[in-house]
């Protein structure tokens, strides 16, 4: 158990809908990262938050947004969902966000868009 929690574990929804994925980092960690994993693309970095502020963006679509709250939990919002958004979504956390830090991953949310 990494100490990172994610809810829900599974999510089934329809195209065009909006969903929210939630992540709680390990105790004491200030950085949260979101990743998307699909069969053909592998694990892709989406976005990084540090202590409530956005630090870096990766391959995140404009239909996707995220935020980190004062209690350090983070939410990833996915809107106008398409079939191709079906994937595993992981969040990870690290102490402060330096390039040398280990990221600890949560168990993931499996999203299926029908």
Site of interaction with other proteins (CB under 8 A): 2, 4, 31, 33, 42-45, 48, 55-56, 58, 88, 90, 92, 94, 97-108, 110
Closer residue to other proteins (CB): 78 or 94:
94
Q: Is 31 left (phi over 0), alpha (psi -120 to 50) or beta?
A: beta
Closer residue to other proteins (CB): 45 or 79:
45
- Cα–Cα distance list, 40 to 20, 52, 60, 87 (Å): 24, 31, 16, 10
Largest CA distance in the chain: 39
CB of 3 to other proteins, least distance (A): 11
* Sign of the torsion angle spanned by Cα atoms 100, 106, 107, 110: negative
Nearest partner of 31 among 44, 45, 12, judged by Cα: 45
Q: Look at residue 83 and give its three-state secondary structure.
A: helix
Closer residue to other proteins (CB): 65 or 79:
65
CB of 70 to other proteins, least distance (A): 21
CB of 88 to other proteins, least distance (A): 8
CB of 69 to other proteins, least distance (A): 20
Closer residue to other proteins (CB): 78 or 89:
89
């Amino acid at each position: 158990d990494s100490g990172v929690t994610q809810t829900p574990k599974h999510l089934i929804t329809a195209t065009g809908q909006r969903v929210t994925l939630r992540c709680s980092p390990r105790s004491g960690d200030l950085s949260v990262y979101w990743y998307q994993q699909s069969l053909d693309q592998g694990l892709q970095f989406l976005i990084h938050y540090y202590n409530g502020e956005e630090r870096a963006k990766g391959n995140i679509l404009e239909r996707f947004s995220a935020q980190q709250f004062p209690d350090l939990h983070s939410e990833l919002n996915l809107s106008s969902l398409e079939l191709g958004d079906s994937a595993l979504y992981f969040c990870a956390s690290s102490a402060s966000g330096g390039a040398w830090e280990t990221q600890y991953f949560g168990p993931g949310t499996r999203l299926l868009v029908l």
